Amino acid sequence: MTIASIIGGSGYGGGELLRLLLSHPGVEVKQVTSRSHLGEYVYQVHPNLRKQTQLKFSEPNMLEPVDVLFLAQPHGQAQHHIDEHAKLAPKIIDLSADFRLRDAALYEKWYGEKHAAPEWLSKFVYGLPELHRAELASADYVSGVGCNATASNLALLPLVKAGLIYLSSPVIIEVKVGSSESGAEGNTGSHHAERANVIRTFSTFGHRHTVEVMQEMCVNDVSLTMTAVDLVRGVLATAHAKVKQGVTTKDLWKAYGAVANENPFVRIVKEQRGIYRAPEPKILAGSNYADLGFELDETNGHVVSMCAIDNLMKGAAGSAVQCMNLMMGWKETTGLEFIGLHPI
Amino acid sequence: MTIASIIGGSGYGGGELLRLLLSHPGVEVKQVTSRSHLGEYVYQVHPNLRKQTQLKFSEPNMLEPVDVLFLAQPHGQAQHHIDEHAKLAPKIIDLSADFRLRDAALYEKWYGEKHAAPEWLSKFVYGLPELHRAELASADYVSGVGCNATASNLALLPLVKAGLIYLSSPVIIEVKVGSSESGAEGNTGSHHAERANVIRTFSTFGHRHTVEVMQEMCVNDVSLTMTAVDLVRGVLATAHAKVKQGVTTKDLWKAYGAVANENPFVRIVKEQRGIYRAPEPKILAGSNYADLGFELDETNGHVVSMCAIDNLMKGAAGSAVQCMNLMMGWKETTGLEFIGLHPI
Amino acid sequence: MTIASIIGGSGYGGGELLRLLLSHPGVEVKQVTSRSHLGEYVYQVHPNLRKQTQLKFSEPNMLEPVDVLFLAQPHGQAQHHIDEHAKLAPKIIDLSADFRLRDAALYEKWYGEKHAAPEWLSKFVYGLPELHRAELASADYVSGVGCNATASNLALLPLVKAGLIYLSSPVIIEVKVGSSESGAEGNTGSHHAERANVIRTFSTFGHRHTVEVMQEMCVNDVSLTMTAVDLVRGVLATAHAKVKQGVTTKDLWKAYGAVANENPFVRIVKEQRGIYRAPEPKILAGSNYADLGFELDETNGHVVSMCAIDNLMKGAAGSAVQCMNLMMGWKETTGLEFIGLHPI
Amino acid sequence: MTIASIIGGSGYGGGELLRLLLSHPGVEVKQVTSRSHLGEYVYQVHPNLRKQTQLKFSEPNMLEPVDVLFLAQPHGQAQHHIDEHAKLAPKIIDLSADFRLRDAALYEKWYGEKHAAPEWLSKFVYGLPELHRAELASADYVSGVGCNATASNLALLPLVKAGLIYLSSPVIIEVKVGSSESGAEGNTGSHHAERANVIRTFSTFGHRHTVEVMQEMCVNDVSLTMTAVDLVRGVLATAHAKVKQGVTTKDLWKAYGAVANENPFVRIVKEQRGIYRAPEPKILAGSNYADLGFELDETNGHVVSMCAIDNLMKGAAGSAVQCMNLMMGWKETTGLEFIGLHPI
């Protein structure tokens, strides 16, 4: 059994990770830390874990050595303790934004403060298997992924990989998100009476996940417009771009098909009938799938590419476990087999 | 023009009151106070009031004399300042729980602390026109009503008024409520990600509104079981009781019909077809109606009586304005004519 | 009193119209037709109208002459009966799509069939007062507006009116909509279990309302991408475009301010703090407001312009009543004063 | 491998069953029938099954012999074909209501028509393992369970089993339900615009599941009051009863604890702090748990007992698979290990 611990287990990302690790056949969870819920049973915070485990939240300072250490704290914390953490475990997967960017200057620009451990940035691999599968197999340090960045990157992946768009063309991505994105702490706008029934655009330009799309897809002129809707789990990214002259719908089928074939958690959703004709996040709750869809206006080359994910799974804990599987040499889908529900 | 001010205008009750007063033909709003939003435009907190008023939240200590003063603060505050408030206005309507009970001992029992101004309790009339219309016409001091108590009281009113149940029989009331009941501040469970999709029983016995039902309906053995559901505005109270021997459905029609005829905001909803066959709060959002319905099992006398209201209207600000209309000698329905929406 | 009747009153548009007319001080409603609900009380279908009216749905063939006739049937019906309708009333307002386009060829292209009464197209004025106020004052025949077209047109209006964008530039509009858009009949995807929690893109290109944007805004290269979200009433249109070289945020403030000043139902929502910083449809339920907002990336000229409306009000019945007010020489806002609710 | 087929696989119960069987380690699904979706891929109707199976819906008449046959049709069909079905498989599990009652007269009374195969009623075991574990181990024919009956039966089980209530005392059960209960076909009230935001009491007395509670719990005077709320999956049954003289909270802990210990899918939820203090269906989506909670008013013996389940799992397909596991001699929890999600 591989022994793992989680730092920061009372948040939504940490809770989802815990759920996955508790039912993972190759892992035993040793400790889960939380300062705010110290001493409580984990199921008192994550009620789905009742009768699954008698673990209690422990003190971050009392961590024991493990095989794999997961960091699931709010952004800006892991970078201050990475040296200590590295002494506890040979392999670290950090769900926060601290080690996602390769360039410390970009971190400072988008996060508004100097990075505390810039020397560590090059040691981390960006934790999206669909982009870095081979590197992950030999990585010791893996970053998490931004959930909105993940939906955006996977929406663009077939287009970029097959060279169907110019990397310098403008890309407009409209991202619609559920309320679990705001984290377990929420914010003033998270109160159900204010947050229910919304179509609330909370960021038109400048969302921090934008830089992850620029880094990973090498697109230079990209904007993310973020809109909150009435849903708990789920992200839909809708990317608008122009394909190169002459690109046809058939080319797109080929490009998307290739990505779906190479990646066990990528599916193409493009139906002519039925209710679910395009990617939709609601049926993905709890699953690690990324559903892709597209439409091309052949008269003007306007392509609309969509990607739906569960932000806590493919956009956070699910990808992290997938990375662990690759790092440990296990089957990539282990512990991630949950199919998703319909209806829901 | 009657001049009115509101103390505590940034909460949900105060905001709803402000909305009603701004469109009331007989009232001019002079001041609205809020310590936490001092100096902000009221429309920055209540975005529906944009382009309706340029009022800003002012300091509670700077209030000027008015004709009617509304108190819309959290419970436990008005009782400490009632003497000062009374110097500012000849008529006061307090939406909080501070002056709802006639008996200081009951207040202490249910609210867990001594009442700070017990001598004032007898000066206040309980502010539900359906129960105290005549007294309200000559009242200077009027209390608000508990929203759950109001739905419960109106569900029981036809049965009690027509003497169809024994006052000593057990009455079980199941109350289902929306999230605006928890107030603008909310609580840890109000986060959309936790509060969406709930069927959450948060109080099985002992909810404070119970004592308002005991006082107003004179029923001795009554329990309220409170369940939160995924809705912002609205309460449905479902009362289960036993009718006296021999009472028939026809008797119930007569009793409910009488109450509906005497009260402009009471309607009976009891249809054999269509979608809306029984009282439902969703179509009442923004309206002051109380919709009543009932079913009797003639084989055993089990009666189910339902009342749906908008908790912020009939259960709070709407009843308060209705009381003001009565106190001022105006038409009872003035400023409360909004019909409600379908669909919604 | 002006006498009005409604053909097709059991749908959502017709019901909303009925609600508005019943509380309009200058109008008396004579008849409301519905074949499927013939003989039923209107409140059995529109439960909010209970205790407001004893009208029953009548037979379309039995209509009596009136001053104003409203048509609220599904698309494709009014054009077949417009000659008969015109004999019943000197003024007609048709909420359907039948007379929105000025060009019969465009109608055929976008609606897939020949127009049955092309000679009537030039007699109708497009019923959006913000675009055609002067013409409406002397119009006898007024068309309805597409709800998505209205949100899109109003999002573009300040930019187009002030000449801040080139009409030939590509405009990408992402429209998010509630479930009342699908009409009272719904469709297979409208079942709550399928429709709840959705972020469902049901049309990437080619939505019929696109042509109304082309006609009214004179933009040639425009696409509407339609996404259904979990909400009953409301539309948010988010338009992405490029402003002309040198246009600044200050220019935008001026352009948007001008439109808001000229139009009683247009507001600008652009706050730096609070929960409601940008236009949001949820607080508009039942109101006739169109809330506009914008953001400009001055580094590259990318402008994001937003418009939120209630699809059944500003996007249908509200604009129709506003047109009636103009046609009758009444104050434009009569009967449309409802403020909207917060929270909701 | 045990070979299984499903008759009626396009409904919600059938789809859930298919999901469970596809990931069950001991079962291979041979055929899934649907007349309305004949020839379609099952994932076109149940989009969560995409990339899981290439099965298509087949013709009911073309069924081949299997080890276990599941019937998941609407009520009233299985009883007409049970003889033919029995020729195809030695073991049958029927999710419909056709074989739940042991008494043909009761069936006729509650379902309004004569039972077509009364001789089969005694061959079936009621398919709730918590009530009939031992019998199920040797059963060949197993009925499904009513979802509301299941929540009600499990809410009452500890009280009845420990003899804490008189079976002749009145029991009032308030049941709150999600929209998936109405089935994939829905009804006129299922349209999202009508069904969203509801607190809709659709049955005060006489719901058909009542008789399953009478049969299984032997309580004579029981009523179910059914209220629809805004949720897709989930049921909460809240039972009100009187305990026998002298029964204390400690006695209840013992009774509920015993039931939780004997049953792998029963949990007690009764916390003093945190958000999830009582049973809630939302965290059970996709899981087979039944969460029980209770409160006793020791002053008058009023007990409130709650049970939350996922209506499609413990209330339908989950219990069916649990029964299959028992019938086949497998571990009772096989294929039912999904933990449930938080948040959701």
Instruction: Find chain B residues with C-beta within 8 A of A186's C-beta.
Output: 191-193
* Region C304-331 average pLDDT: 98
Position D207 scores a pLDDT of 95
pLDDT, mean of residues B115-135? 98
Average of per-residue pLDDT across C78-97: 98
Q: Which residues of C are catalytic?
A: 147
The 3 state secondary structure assigned to chain D is CEEEEEECCCCHHHHHHHHHHHCCCCEEEEEEECCCCCCCEHHHHCHHHCCCCCCEEECHHHCCCCCEEEECCCCCCHHHHHHHHHHHCCEEEECCCCCCCCCHHHHHHHHCCCCCCHHHHHHEEECCHHHHHHHHHCCCEEECCCHHHHHHHHHHHHHHHCCCECCCCCEEEEEEECHHHHCCCCCHHHEHHHHCCCEEEEECCCCCCHHHHHHHHCCCCEEEEEEEECCCCCEEEEEEEEECCCCCHHHHHHHHHHHHHHCCCEEECCCCCCCCCCCCCHHHCCCCCEEEEEEEECCCCEEEEEEEECCCHHHHHHHHHHHHHHHHCCCCCCCCCCCCCCCC
Inter-chain touch A176–C300, beta carbons under 8 Å: no
Distance of residue A266 Cα from the nearest chain D Cα, in angstroms: 9
Q: Is D334 on the interface with C (CB under 8 A)?
A: no
Q: What is the 3-state secondary structure (H, E, C) of chain A?
A: CEEEEEECCCCHHHHHHHHHHHCCCCEEEEEEECCCCCCCEHHHHCHHHCCCCCCEEECHHHCCCCCEEEECCCCCCHHHHHHHHHHHCCEEEECCCCCCCCCHHHHHHHHCCCCCCHHHHHHEEECCHHHHHHHHHCCCEEECCCHHHHHHHHHHHHHHHCCCECCCCCEEEEEEECHHHHCCCCCHHHEHHHHCCCEEEEECCCCCCHHHHHHHHCCCCEEEEEEEECCCCCEEEEEEEEECCCCCHHHHHHHHHHHHHHCCCEEECCCCCCCCCCCCCHHHCCCCCEEEEEEEECCCCEEEEEEEECCCHHHHHHHHHHHHHHHHCCCCCCCCCCCCCCCC
Residue from the list D178, D182, D196 with its beta carbon closest to the beta carbon of C232:
D196
Residue stretches of chain A with pLDDT short of 50: none
Residue of A44, A287, A337 lying closest to D274 (CB–CB): A44
Interface contact A342-D47, CB threshold 8 A = yes
CB spacing of B232 vs A190 below 8 angstroms: no
Residue C187 pLDDT more than 90? Answer: no
CA distance B339 to A298: 49
Q: Which residues of B131-169 are buried (b: 16+ CB within 10 A; e: fewer)?
A: bbeeebbebebbbbbbbbbbbbbbbbbbbbbbebbeeee
**Can you tell me the mean pLDDT for B190-197?**
98
List the chains bordering chain B where 3 or more Cβ pairs fall under 8 Å: A, C, D
Which residues of chain D lie closer than 8 angstroms to B278, CB-CB?
Answer: 200-202, 204
Cβ of residue C340 closer than 8 Å to a chain B Cβ: yes
Measured between CA atoms, the residue of chain A closest to residue D283 is A48
Residue A186 pLDDT? 86
Interface test with A, best of C187, C192, C197 (most A CBs within 10 A): C197
D-contacting chains (≥3 CB pairs under 8 Å): A, B, C
Angle of helix B210-217 versus helix B147-161 axis, rounded to 10: 30
CB contact under 8 A, B200 and D280: yes
Contacts of C49 in chain B (CB under 8 A): 339, 342
Strand D222-229 with D199-203, pairing:
antiparallel
User: What pLDDT, on the 0 to 100 scale, is given for residue A301?
Assistant: 97
C48 to chain B, closest Cα gap in Å = 6
Contact C304 A170 (CB under 8 A): no
Question: Which of A192, A194, A200 should we substitute to test contact with B (largest number of B Cβ atoms within 10 Å)?
Answer: A192
Does residue C80 carry a pLDDT above 90? yes
Interval C9-67: pLDDT, tens: 999 999 999 999 999 999 999 999 999 999 999 999 999 999 999 999 999 999 999 99
Q: Which of residues 157-216 of A touch D (CB under 8 A)?
A: 180, 184
What kind and span of H or E run contains C182? none
Q: Which residues of C touch A280 (CB under 8 A)?
A: 198-200
How far apart are the C-alpha atoms of A79 and A141, rounded to whole Å? 13
Q: What is the pLDDT of residue C145?
A: 98
Q: Which of residues 284-323 of D touch A (CB under 8 A)?
A: 285-287, 289, 291
Helical packing angle, D104-111 and D210-217, nearest 10°: 150
Shortest CB distance from C180 goes to which of D179, D193, D195? D193
Find the mean pLDDT for residues D7-35. Answer: 98
Q: Which active-site residues of A does the annotation give?
A: 147
Q: What is the mean pLDDT of residues C66-91?
A: 97
CA nearest neighbour of D326 among D336, D313, D316: D336
Which residues of chain A lie closer than 8 angstroms to D51, CB-CB? 267, 289
CA-based nearest distance C149→chain D, Å? 21
Distance, in Å, from the CA atom of C186 to the CA atom of C192, rounded to the nearest integer, reads 11
B323 is catalytic: no
Whole-angstrom distance, CA of residue A52 vs CA of residue A56: 12
Residues 34 to 73 of A: which have CB under 8 A from any D CB? 40, 44-52
- Asked whether the beta carbons of residue C308 and residue A199 sit closer than 8 angstroms, the reply is yes
Residue entry with tokens 């009208």 = C55
A244 close to A169: Cβ distance less than 8 angstroms: no
Contacts of A232 in chain B (CB under 8 A): 192-193, 196-197
> What mean pLDDT comes out for the span C225-250?
98
Cβ contact (<8 Å) for D197 and B238? no
Confidence of residue D94 (pLDDT cuts 50, 70, 90): very high
Report d(CA A191, CA B161) in Å as an integer: 40
Mean pLDDT score across all residues of chain D? 97
HSE of A194, CA atoms in CB hemisphere, 13 A: 22
Touching chains, A (3+ CB pairs < 8 A): B, C, D
Nearest to B103 by CA among B118, B90, B113: B118
A343 → closest Cβ in D232, D269, D342: D232
Structure confidence at residue A28 (pLDDT): 98
Neighbours of chain C (3+ CB pairs under 8 A): A, B, D
- Residue C112 at interface with chain B, using a CB cutoff of 8 Å: no
When pLDDT is cut at 50, 70 and 90, the band that residue D155 belongs to is very high
Banded model confidence at residue B187, pLDDT cuts 50, 70, 90: confident
Cα–Cα dist C200/C229, whole Å? 7
Look up the pTM and report it: 0.98
D179: chain C residues, CB-CB within 8 Å: 191-193, 196
Amino acid A41: pLDDT:
97
Asked if D47 contacts A268 with a C-beta cutoff of 8 angstroms, the reply is: no
Query: What does the mean pLDDT of chain B come to?
Result: 97
pLDDT in tens, C129-181: 999 999 999 999 999 999 999 999 999 999 999 999 999 999 999 999 999 99
Interface A-D, measured as beta-carbon pairs within 8 A, has a size of: 99
Contact yes or no for D341 and A50 at CB 8 A: no
Question: Nearest CA to CA, how far is C232 from chain D (Å)?
Answer: 5
CB atoms within 10 A of CB D129: 23
The reported pLDDT for the residue numbered B3 is: 98
Decide if pLDDT at D187 tops 90: no
- Interface with chain A: mutation pick from B147, B181, B191, B198, highest number of A CBs within 10 Å: B191
Of the candidates D22, D46, D342, the beta carbon closest to that of A47 is on: D342
Q: Is the pLDDT of residue B188 over 90?
A: no
Query: pLDDT tens for residues B81-114?
Result: 999 999 999 999 999 999 999 999 999 999 999 9
Which residues in chain C have their CB less than 8 angstroms from residue B232's CB? 343-344
Contact A27, A1 (CB under 8 A): yes
pLDDT in tens, D97-140: 999 999 999 999 999 999 999 999 999 999 999 999 999 999 99
Contact (Cβ atoms closer than 8 angstroms) between residue A13 and residue A316 = yes
The beta-carbon neighbor of C342 closest among B48, B338, B343 is B48
Of the candidates A255, D137, D37, A170, the residue with the CA atom closest to the CA atom of residue C240:
A170
Indicate which residue of D147, D218, D307, D323 is catalytic. D147
